[in-house]
């Protein structure tokens, strides 16, 4: 059965990519380099200054379908109650040297774009899902970010170094998250290995300590909803919701800590770098107004801690509408951006995470800023000068910000088109929905199941944001990404 009803989503995704300034395929020069790499892959042994850490019980947690694995984790308890966390990051630079054809392509794209029906990879998949992916039971080169976490969740020391590693258990968020939450039905690889099970339980505990410490500093508790299509025979048949769980939180908490460690290490070594910042919000007055609607008075000057407390209070009071409140706050905070931080200059900081020193360093298969940071770290470890001038870093930071914004537009367009395709067979059906927006363009709703956004084209009189109503699906237009409802 052709669920796309004659609409070619794959062609639509490629067109959306080119419309927003991306390449939808790899040029011949890149393919030639890949062929040469596959003919003579690197041996992981014999590198000076690279530790052999393949015996440690490393594991990875990612999406069910992910093959571009950037990071693995392992921890060790210490005598004083502290825990040593090691995050191994795929050494992409070993295969993609600066200035190569693959590198030039990645520098232009800057990110993998997840278009729902197809992933447009920043790096050729022979690398990102093959030789530079930390796949299970494969010997791989990595850069390890090590940090010690005390009983209060504070990072008290850190070290960076190169190592060979081997992923002992490639795991997925849904099954690990459900097991960590309930203690029941462990994933097969967890149930079969007491060592991996113990690792994950302690990792979860340490992640909670790190998160609590961040929240004490004022990091924001935000919960936006992500969706992806369930594909069958290359066609989308359902919209699935990504829900946060202890496994997704665990990886997020470890990656935030690792990114802080890398940023402060480069700063101490007097290396200029690319930082990830969310600036102090210019629209704080609107956030104050938003909180006042719920009876909460925020200070007149931007302060993440009271905002965090307000968000926690609203999550407890009204969990159904909390994702919409989170989204409104995210929009008012403004999107993150990449900036140059010159050696010795004060960091601008990340308002939403309540951290002063923050970079992106943990996903070099998927984000170019992380690959650049990896090269800076390797140069620092080798006591060499930086491979990038400040001018180069500033230009790369600008391109990364520009392309990240463009990627969001592609992904948003494709989400709407996929939803229109999936919902086409349900015209005439009724759904429970929440009103998510009322403005000069119209009234917008989100159905509860499946999670689909659309316009209320009839029956909008008297409804307001937050109202729960019954709607009937009346029309879809995949090309424009339209899903139209009337009030039942």
Mean pLDDT by 10 residues, the chain (488 residues): 68 97 97 97 87 97 92 93 96 98 98 95 97 97 97 94 98 96 95 96 96 81 78 87 89 94 94 86 82 89 84 84 79 82 77 73 97 98 97 97 96 94 95 86 89 92 84 96 94
- In a domain, residue 276? The reply is no
Q: How far is CA 248 from the centre of its chain?
A: 10
Report pLDDT for 1.
36
For residues 77 and 183, membership in a common domain is answered with yes
Task: Domain count for the chain, please give it.
Answer: 3
Average pLDDT of the chain is 91
Question: Are 17 and 410 a contacting pair, CB within 8 Å?
Answer: yes
For residues 103 and 249, membership in a common domain is answered with yes
CATH number assigned to the domain comprising residue 463: 2.40.50.140
Question: Are 95 and 127 a contacting pair, CB within 8 Å?
Answer: yes
Q: How far apart, in Å, are the Cα atoms of 36 and each of 29, 32, 33, 41, 316? A: 11, 6, 5, 8, 56
For residues 19 and 100, membership in a common domain is answered with yes
User: The tokens of 316 are what?
Assistant: 């407890």
For residues 379 and 312, membership in a common domain is answered with no
- In a domain, residue 16? The reply is yes
For residues 127 and 200, membership in a common domain is answered with yes
Report pLDDT for 2.
41
- Closest listed residue to residue 22, CA positions, set 456, 431, 399, 450: 399
The span from the CA of 269 to the CA of 265, in Å, is 6
Backbone angles phi, psi at 188, to 5 degrees: -55, -45
- In a domain, residue 289? The reply is yes
For residues 294 and 151, membership in a common domain is answered with no
Report pLDDT for 101.
98
Q: Is 402 exposed, middle or buried (0-12, 13-18, 19+ CB in 10 A)?
A: middle
Question: Are 251 and 325 a contacting pair, CB within 8 Å?
Answer: no
Report pLDDT for 214.
85
For residues 433 and 305, membership in a common domain is answered with no
The span from the CA of 57 to the CA of 183, in Å, is 21
- In a domain, residue 347? The reply is no
For residues 14 and 115, membership in a common domain is answered with yes
For residues 72 and 205, membership in a common domain is answered with yes
Report pLDDT for 352.
63
- DSSP letter (8 states) at residue 301: S
- In a domain, residue 413? The reply is no
For the chain, how long is the longest CA-to-CA vector? 72
For residues 66 and 123, membership in a common domain is answered with yes
User: The tokens of 177 are what?
Assistant: 């998250």
The domain containing residue 475 runs over which residues? 427-487
For residues 295 and 260, membership in a common domain is answered with no
- In a domain, residue 320? The reply is yes
- In a domain, residue 263? The reply is yes
- In a domain, residue 398? The reply is no
Report pLDDT for 103.
98
For residues 108 and 171, membership in a common domain is answered with yes
């Amino acid at each position: 059965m052709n669920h796309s009803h004659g609409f070619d989503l794959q062609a639509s995704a490629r067109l959306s990519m080119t419309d927003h300034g991306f390449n939808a395929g790899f040029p011949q020069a890149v393919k030639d380099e890949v062929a040469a790499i596959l003919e003579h892959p690197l041996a992981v042994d014999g590198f000076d200054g690279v530790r052999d850490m393949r015996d440690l019980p490393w594991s990875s947690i990612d999406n069910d379908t992910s093959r571009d694995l950037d990071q693995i984790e392992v921890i060790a308890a210490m005598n004083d109650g502290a825990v040593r966390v090691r995050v191994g990051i795929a050494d992409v630079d070993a295969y993609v040297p600066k200035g190569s054809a693959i590198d030039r392509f990645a520098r232009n794209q800057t990110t993998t774009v997840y278009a729902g029906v197809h992933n447009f990879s920043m790096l050729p998949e022979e690398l990102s899902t093959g030789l530079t992916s930390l796949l299970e039971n494969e010997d791989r080169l990595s850069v390890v970010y090590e940090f010690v976490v005390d009983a209060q969740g504070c990072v008290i020391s850190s070290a960076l170094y190169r190592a060979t590693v081997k992923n002992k258990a490639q795991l997925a968020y849904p099954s690990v998250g459900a097991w960590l939450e309930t203690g029941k039905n462990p994933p097969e690889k967890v149930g079969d290995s007491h060592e991996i099970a113990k690792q994950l339980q302690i990792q979860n505990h340490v992640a909670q300590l790190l998160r609590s410490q961040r929240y004490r500093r004022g990091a924001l508790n935000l919960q936006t909803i992500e969706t992806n299509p369930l594909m069958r025979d290359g066609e989308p048949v359902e919209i699935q919701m990504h829900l946060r769980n202890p496994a997704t939180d665990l990886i997020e908490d470890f990656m935030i800590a690792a990114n802080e460690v890398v940023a402060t290490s480069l700063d101490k070594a007097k290396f200029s770098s690319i930082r990830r910042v969310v600036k102090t919000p210019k629209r704080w007055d609107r956030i104050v107004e938003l909180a006042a609607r719920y009876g909460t008075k925020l200070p007149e000057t931007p302060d993440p801690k009271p905002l965090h407390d307000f968000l926690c209070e609203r999550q407890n009071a009204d969990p159904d509408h909390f994702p919409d409140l989170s989204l409104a706050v995210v929009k008012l905070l403004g999107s993150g951006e990449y900036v140059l931080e010159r050696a010795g200059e004060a960091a601008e900081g990340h308002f939403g995470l309540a951290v002063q020193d923050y970079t992106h360093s943990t996903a070099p298969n998927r984000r170019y800023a992380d690959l650049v940071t990896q090269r800076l770290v390797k140069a620092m470890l080798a006591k060499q000068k930086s491979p990038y001038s400040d001018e180069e870093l500033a230009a790369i930071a600008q391109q990364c910000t520009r392309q990240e914004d463009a990627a969001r537009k592609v992904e948003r367009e494709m989400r709407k088109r996929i939803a229109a395709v999936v919902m086409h067979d349900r015209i005439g059906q009724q759904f429970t929905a929440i009103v998510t927006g009322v403005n000069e363009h119209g009234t917008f709703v989100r159905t509860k199941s499946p999670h689909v956004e659309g316009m209320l084209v009839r029956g909008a009189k008297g409804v307001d944001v937050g109202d729960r109503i019954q709607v009937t699906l009346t029309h879809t237009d995949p090309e424009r990404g339209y899903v139209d409802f009337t009030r039942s």
